[in-house]
Structure 1
Amino acid sequence: MVRANWGRIFAIVYLFMLCYAPQVASSTSQNNVIIAVTQLPENFSPYANSPLSLSYAHLFFDPLVRWGINGKLEKRLLRDWRVIKPGVIRFYLKNNIYFHSGNRLTSNDVLWSYAQIKKRAKFKFFFSAIKKISRVNTHTFDIDSTLSQDELLDYLSDFFVLDEQYYTHLNVENSPFPPITRSTALMPMVSGTGPYKLRAFNINLALQVTADKNYWDAQENTLDITFLKIKSQRARVYALLSGDVDISHAVLKKQIQSIEVEKNKQLVSIGSSRSFYLSLSGKHSSLLKVASARKAISLAINQQGMLDNILQGLGHINSTYSPLLTRESIGLNNEYNVKKARELLTKMEISSQQLTLLTFKSNRVDHEEVLKALKNMLQRVGLQLLVTQTDSKDEWLKTMEHYDLTLSTWQSSLMDRKNIYKSLFADSLLAPYLGPLYAAQSTLNRDDFFKKLLQQQRVILLFSVDELWGADRKYAFKNIFSVNEVPYWQYLRVKK
């Protein structure tokens, strides 16, 4: 049944290709790769209300710098930089870089892009420590900030430069970045300096991009790409196994073996910073105010068992993000001892108690399985979980303080240690819990304070989850990912 439904979907998408990009439909599969994904962009700006994910943003735009595949920081639009006085760094743009529109990149585009960032609270947070950006000349600008050079460069890896002339001349009321429902190469609504141009788009079906032959860093044999929207995880893998798509994102654990036994398919596991966090608040529960009770909950949780049975071992315990945790933090919470947990609770004369837990809804299967496992494990030591799920961030922010526990996931593309902790404490689902605790003390930095929360079992960092992809073996796929899990699609190649 699933295969039959998938066949109809592919027929519709092929019709889309014929209508909007006949040159793609007639090209050989060697020049075009089809990738099954869960979501397509709602907007083609990295700074819109519903911004491009980094995976898509790097198609159309270049950042000033980026984290490379080898873990080192790479210069992209920047040629160089130097400190000219304390707090001020001068940056030099590369010459002769052009946007897709044909406009030449200048420092004016950097300043205009920064102005767009400041209009949106989500992005303004990341650059709040920047006092100002000043134009020096056509290809030079200064950044005055309270950040160290390493912190600033890390943030600039998410600073995508937009085409000021192009966007300011669009005839769009109120916003140069309207939601897009259809766009073709004849009516482009995106202009960046990135390796790909937009060819065709339907928000319900597919996104097609073509390699920009005039790209400033163009390389031979760059593939054109069709991102095909298939929300069903099973349908994505069926499409891969049947050869209708070349690559599939978000593979189910039950389908791992199906891919591995296929001689012409490969399972690719990419280490990820996406991690599960369990917070334990004593605000409303007298039980959770007691350190031994929080310790008992930690002892009752079989992290290794969840990793092995839910994730098939494709993840990591307490080493979720190497810049986030120190060596001393590793292993703080992953002792599993049900007998000891029961003994601790028995000493407190607790035989049964109900705790409330709030979790953010997720369409990822592993989220539901982790939630189910937690309920079963705590039930073994006499603790009943009453679970509430929400898919509203506003509701989460308003109500999470009323719950005893929360289960959430978080990940970051940042690599500098201070930046990561700043983001965790201010921009994650845990922020409403962490923020007041951190503000109530003044002696520890975020790094040491988070370690203290781990030691006290006020936060239990369960494990990180690898990103799973299925792909045709003809592609050299794994080596396109940066150290912070961003796929640089222009490096995807057919194996020789």
Structure 2
Amino acid sequence: MPPQSLAGNVPVILLLLLAWVYLTGVPVRAGDVPPLLRIGLDGVAMSADPHRQNSADSRNLAFHVFEPLIMPDLALGTVPWLATEWRPVGERDWVFTLRPNVRFHDGKPLAPEDVAFTFCRLDSNGGSMSGLIAGVERVAARDAGSVQITTQGPNPLLPQLLTMISIIPAPNGWKEPYVPGGCANMAAALTSLGEDRFANGLVPGTGPYRLTAFTSGGPAELARTDGYWGTQPYWEQVRLLPIPGGAARARALVAGDVDIINQVVPESLEFLAGRRDLRVVDSRPLRTLILTPNPIGPLADPAVRRALAMAIDRVSLARRVAQGSAEPAAQLAPVGILGHEPRAAIGFDQINARHILEKSGVSGGRTLRLITVEPFARVAEGIARYLLAVGVTLDIRFVAVGNVLPAMQSLDYDLFLSGWIAFTGELGYTGRELLHSRDPARKTGNQNFVGYSNPEIDRLLSLAAMESDRGKRGLLLGEMAMIASRDMPVIPTIHLARRWAMNAEIRFDGRVDGNTLATLITPASARTQ
């Protein structure tokens, strides 16, 4: 019998490959079709709605499907995206030119009305994302290819704030401008934007992927879209897998169950970094881990909160607990972030800390409940050791990454350890979200769940938000930081780097914002061609 060519069996071979990928989840290597990328994450979004929560896991899913006018770059800068350019017009207006030939997944062209409607929806939703549009007075089409945003006063950081807002399509025929609290016909429009429609992939985005399967807090499946306006990503299919435990993520990577993981924990670092078949990358240490004290109870006194802050040896905590991926956080803003104020630094003084805590009755057998997420377990345990040295015991409990905001709102804790990044490169937005008096009407204090209020901090933040001169803005934010260091509404601990590990056959450059985007992950061979 003569040798038989395989050419006639190509469809069969292709079907076998597809079945193998589907059934086993084995990542695709060179020549396989379609390429599948599996990303192991500490958490996957609780909602597929990009406007539901202002959280890292929510943005990580959203930016595969939906896109902002301006994209954040690797180092907190800005990159033209759905808007190709923007410019201020006078003190209160900005004009954004939309990228031509961009379409939503259903074929609808991107229009200025989509931007206005997105603002209307954010306003009607309220919640943790509304602070991004605080101070915006009107959004409307300027012409067929541009949108004009009017603010209540000068707003120099508007472009940076827009990097966090995913644009969604307006209903057919929508022509209404955005005005705070007054968008017409919103009730009817919102009926087509229920949670189930986002979860089922029925709300189209402009991004390189569409959502094909989603479970709240569970796996998410993405498929590459045809006709994407930008560079097509390499991966035809993407699977986002929640793996809450740091050790479990490392095991999944080593076993080949995933191709890349985020939030590499210190316990796994040496082992993963020592393997030739893996690669580890990290970002600048700009993510600040903060303790939020519940002011109802023994931590109501600022002196007690300062004593807890003084009891923590941040230098040792950063060195021993984070293994080279952190710096001590003597204040809320890392070095290089506008608003960093050397005079606001917190010292390490356990003798005075113990004296204050004993005098207030907090030390000497009292147990405080600390809530955090599993990736911060080692930091929480380090803090517990320092506080134990001054007579305070911590009862550490964990919540799922996707449940952080509800858990913080519950106030069922004495201390909450969470992460925050000044994604605008300045302390202003951070202060407005965490430290400003909570005021839903003004969209301030959206994540100030403990009710802290200081009129002078509010005043300084309001002035800084409208100050166009960067130097003057920095002075205002520095004064705000000084007051925060006295009141201690939040206790900075360390500035932490983001860290990823991946199969050596792929490449990804770590991002300060923590997003693990399939669009930025490529085969290693693609970087060398």
TM-score, structure 2 length as denominator?
0.73
1:370 maps to 2:406:
no
User: Could you tell me how far apart the structure 2 residues matched to 1:227 and 1:100 are?
Assistant: 20
Seen in structure 2, the aligned counterparts of structure 1 residues 377 and 17 have a Cα distance that, compared at 3 Å, is same
**Structure 1: distance between partners of 2:246 and 2:19:** 23
Hey, what does 1:68 align to over in structure 2? 73
Write the distance in 2 (CA, Å) between the matches of 1:395 and 1:211. Answer: 35
Displacement of 1:70 after TM fit? 5.0
Is residue 141 of structure 2 the alignment partner of residue 135 of structure 1? Answer: yes
* 1:354-399 deviations in Å (ceiling 9; x for gaps): 556453x3331433x4344334323323x33465869686675575
Equivalent residue runs for 1:212-231 within 5 Å: 212-219=225-232, 221=234, 224-231=237-244
Shift of 1:98: 1.0
Partner residue of 1:436? 453
DSSP 3-state at the match of 2:372: coil
Aligned to 2:494: 463
Change (3 A) 1:330 1:223: farther
1:306 partner amino acid: L
TM-align CA RMSD: 4.3
Q: Aligned partners of 2:425, 2:66: CA distance in 1, in Å?
A: 22
Please name the residue that 1:384 is paired with: 392
> Could you tell me which residue of structure 1 aligns to residue 116 of structure 2?
111
Displacement over 6 Å in runs of 4+? 14-17, 19-27, 49-52, 280-283, 346-351, 427-430
Q: 1:182-261 maps to which residues of 2 (within 5 A)?
A: 183=200, 188-201=201-214, 206-219=219-232, 221=234, 224-261=237-274
> Equivalents in 2 of 1:70, 1:350: separation in Å?
45
Which of 254, 258, 265 does residue 278 from structure 2 map onto?
Answer: 265
Confirm or deny: 8 A CA contact 2:435 2:457 kept in the other structure.
Answer: no
The match for 2:168 is 162
Structure 1 counterpart SS, 2:103:
coil
- Matched AA of 2:392: Q
Q: CA deviation at 1:419?
A: 2.2
Where does the alignment leave 5 or more consecutive residues of structure 1 unmatched? Answer: 1-13
Shift of 1:153: 0.9
1:492 aligns with 2:521: yes
Q: 1:352, 1:202 → 2: CA distance?
A: 44
Percent of paired sites with the same residue? 16
* Inter-partner Cα distance in structure 1 for 2:41 and 2:368: 31
Deviation of the 1:78 alpha carbon:
1.1
The aligned amino acid for 1:302 is: D
1:222 and 1:491 in contact (8 A); partners too: no
1:336 corresponds in structure 2 to 348
Q: What residue is the counterpart of 1:315 in the other structure?
A: 326
Closer, same or farther in 2 for the Cα pair 1:150/1:475, shift >3 Å? farther
1:10-21 aligned within 5 A = 18=22
Give the number of aligned pairs.
Answer: 465
How big is each residue's C-alpha offset from its partner over 1:87-145, in whole Å with a ceiling of 9 and x where there is no partner? 12222212111111111111121122222111111233321211111222222221110
Task: Determine the C-alpha separation between the residues in 2 that align with 1:124 and 1:278.
Answer: 23
Q: What TM-score results when the alignment is normalised by the length of structure 1?
A: 0.78
2:432 is aligned, of 422, 445, 455, to 422
Range 483-492 or range 301-310, more displaced: 483-492
Equivalent-residue separation in structure 1 for 2:231 and 2:93 (angstroms): 33
SS in structure 1 at match of 2:39: strand
Q: Tell me if 1:305 matches 2:316.
A: yes
For residue 104 of structure 2, give the secondary structure of its aligned residue in structure 1.
Answer: coil
Which range moves more in the overlay, 324-333 or 128-137?
324-333
CA shift in 2, pair 1:197/1:88, >3 Å: same
Q: What is aligned with 1:82?
A: 87
